[in-house]
C-alpha cells in the first residue's frame, strides 16, 4: 500500500471529514443523506490519515509530488 495522496489532498479531506462528522454527531444534519455523508466522511478521515486512497490506485492517480 503505497501512499498516493499529497499533503493538500489529505488536509482537505481531513477538514471536510471533521466538519461533517461534527455536524452529524451534533444532530445538525439528519436523515438518510446525513448518514451517507457521515460514512463518506469517516472514509475520508481514514484515507487522509493513511495517505492512501483505494479509488486512486486502479486508475494510477496520485496527488503526491514526485521528487
If you write DSSP's letter for every residue of 36-63 in order, what string do you get? HHHHHHHHHHHHHHHT--TTTGGGT---
- The pTM of this model reads 0.83
Grid coordinates belonging to 45: 478521515
In this predicted structure, what is the pLDDT of residue 67?
58
Delimit the domains of the chain by residue range.
7-51
C-alpha to C-alpha distances, 46 to 51, 53, 67, nearest whole angstrom: 8, 9, 25
What is residue 59's predicted lDDT score, i.e. its pLDDT?
93
Q: Tens of pLDDT along the chain (67 residues)? A: 889 999 999 999 999 999 999 999 999 999 999 999 999 999 999 999 999 999 999 999 999 987 5
Rounded distance between C-alpha atoms, residue 1 and residue 13, angstroms: 19
Amino acid at each position: 500500500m503505497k501512499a498516493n495522496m499529497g499533503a493538500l489532498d489529505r488536509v482537505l479531506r481531513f477538514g471536510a471529514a471533521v466538519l461533517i462528522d461534527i455536524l452529524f454527531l451534533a444532530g445538525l444534519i439528519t436523515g438518510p443523506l446525513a448518514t451517507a455523508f457521515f460514512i463518506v466522511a469517516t472514509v475520508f478521515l481514514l484515507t487522509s490519515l493513511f495517505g492512501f486512497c483505494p479509488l486512486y490506485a486502479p486508475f494510477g492517480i496520485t496527488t503526491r509530488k514526485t521528487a
